[in-house]
Chain A
Amino acid sequence: MGDHRVDATAEYQRPPAEVRFADELERLRDADTGPRPPGWALSLTAARTFITGDDALGVRRKFVGDTALIDRALVTLATSRGLMLIGEPGTAKSLLSELVAAAVSGTSTLTIQGGAATTEDQIKYSWNYALLVSEGPSTRSLVPAPLLTGMAEGKVVRFEEITRCPLEVQDSLLSPLSDRVLAIPELTGDDSMVFARDGFNVIATANTRDRGVNEMSAALKRRFNFETVFPIGDLATELELVEQEASRLLERSGVAVAPRRDVLEVLVTTFRELRDATTEDGRAMDRLSAVMSTAEAVSVAHQIGVRGWFLRGEAGGAADIVECLAGTAAKDSPEDLARLRRYLEQQASRRDGEQWRALHAARRLLPG
């Protein structure tokens, strides 16, 4: 159980948070004087610092969002209720759940990925059938899944996209969450019941675009505290984040110029307005059905830079925004395309500034 050793020196595309930030976690552990809830790797305060950052300790800020949300999430995990992170796609729910798990348990890899085909085996346990046939049910032939491991070791288990699972599969969390015990009826004696150790809890994430949490059974809902994760609240912060992430991606793609600030500002403003269905000056619009998340904005900014650099040898401009938006935002939806066109025609034309004018002028690049 728990043999998820990742070598920090190897070239993985994306090592888990506890590996990526191993040195930060170590510094926090060393400096940690606060009381730790039973089974936790860090105190609540240190776990919060891990996420919100602390320049003095050399800990990066990893999640841009309300600090109060992180406080509530951590306190929830220290109680007997699970934590449900819910929000639009691309609001960094999974990142937050990974960071919290890494801070609380020191491991973020006990993860169940929810989907239409998720079964109870993938959540609780299954069997090594060769051993099962030869030896019968025993702890040797038992193959634990993340929930069983988490309970037995007292770790936080992550359940991604829980609402995409069939309802009866979701409900298999009921007794682990309320009675904190998992029955293995095939085994006998003490092995037939796995009692959760201190430190065990569940962080689930759910996405408001898929089947929402409305269909989730009331019994299960009651066992979670809900935290809605919102898109980034203010333009400046989001702009900064997009600029930072896009620059990093562009550098990796071999683009030698940094993205232009004024272009990014137009891009991020456009994304925010189409996402919130209101312009910055308060005019109501239609919401795009496509996901207009910060992550999506970063990817568009990346595309713009790549197009600009490799096609024309410059940083990319507002016209590229239109072409990329047509691809990302209006993916196979004529309605979204029409909304986008209306936005470019009637809202972009009101704005001052060179890039806004360029964006308005480039509206004809929209297909159809």
Chain B
Amino acid sequence: MLNIIKSGFFTTVQDTGRFGFRDKGVPVAGAMDSYTVSKLNSLLENVEDCAVLEITMTGPKLEFELDTYIVTGGAEMSVTLNDLAIENYKVYKVKSGDVLSYGKLIKGFRAYLGIKDGFRTASVLGSRSFYKPITEQDCIKKMSGLPYTECKMFGPKISKLKVDSILNKGQLEVYKGPEYELLTDKQLAQIFYKEFSVANENNRMAYQFNETIEGNTFSMLTSATLPGTIQLTPAGKLIILMKDGQTTGGYPRILQLSDMAISILSQNKSGDLIHFKLK
């Protein structure tokens, strides 16, 4: 078990996501910054759907009961292992009784903790990704534990990785969405020649912005939406659906983020500036 001494602001277990149930309204879920998570699992030589911890804004304090290997990545936070600072994207051996403690957020928004062979919380409908009510919990709770398997010997092929940072990046690559053609020249100019600041309404379901553009009165029948779909509301709000976003929607889907842009956006927080670039 990994004992949770402190939970942090919003810490969840995530893997690559829950597929095959979108026709029943079940969101994909999975790590918001999948770019970072794939790097962590590669370093640990894990299979790609091994579950990691997704740590939002402020981090937890954790105690290991079993020996294993870990690696951290994503947002930069001051992280210590038994009071010694550790670096991102470097494999560390941890022993029973070791304590991993997250401090201040320095850069980015979501940090990840990978562990050899992944966390072993319950798999529901093919995924361990937290999403209430599919999973019992919506985030980890103090004084509980997360199961993992012991690993005493592991010689990583690469023990440290230099990663192209996606932190502090504001450019989001987008494709035309199914209703892109509805946009007027004025709306296009407002979208592509303006910066947007991330609103307080930003979470695993959706990101919104403080700025609006000209609204859209087009009425369409409810149809599928995807992680990364940008909807335009009649009031001119842009809503970017993220990994826990609903599977259908009734607003025009004007743009679609690339996979990388979803990872980049998930490292942005309230007030950060972003702009769109058509791919």
- Same complex origin of A and B: no
Partner-A contacts on B (CB < 8 A): none
